[in-house]
Amino acid sequence: MKFAVMSDTHDHMDNLRKAIEIICAENCAAIIHCGDIIAPFMIKILEKAEMPVHIVFGNNDGDAFLLTRTALESGGRITIHGHWGRIELDGLKIAFVHDGPLAEGLAATGKYDMVFFGHSHQHYQDRIGETVLFNPGDVMGKDIEPGFGIVDSWTREITRVVIR
Domain that holds residue 158: 2-162
Note the pLDDT tens digit of each residue in 26-44.
Answer: 999 999 999 999 999 999 9
Q: How far apart are CA 60 and CA 35, in angstroms?
A: 8
**96 confidence band (pLDDT: 50, 70, 90):** very high
Cβ atoms of residues 144 and 138 within 8 Å: yes
Q: How far apart are CA 21 and CA 42, in angstroms?
A: 15
Number of independent structural domains in the chain? 1
Whichever domain contains 98, its CATH number is 3.60.21.10
Note the pLDDT tens digit of each residue in 69-92.
Answer: 999 999 999 999 999 999 999 999
Which pLDDT does position 62 carry in this prediction? 86
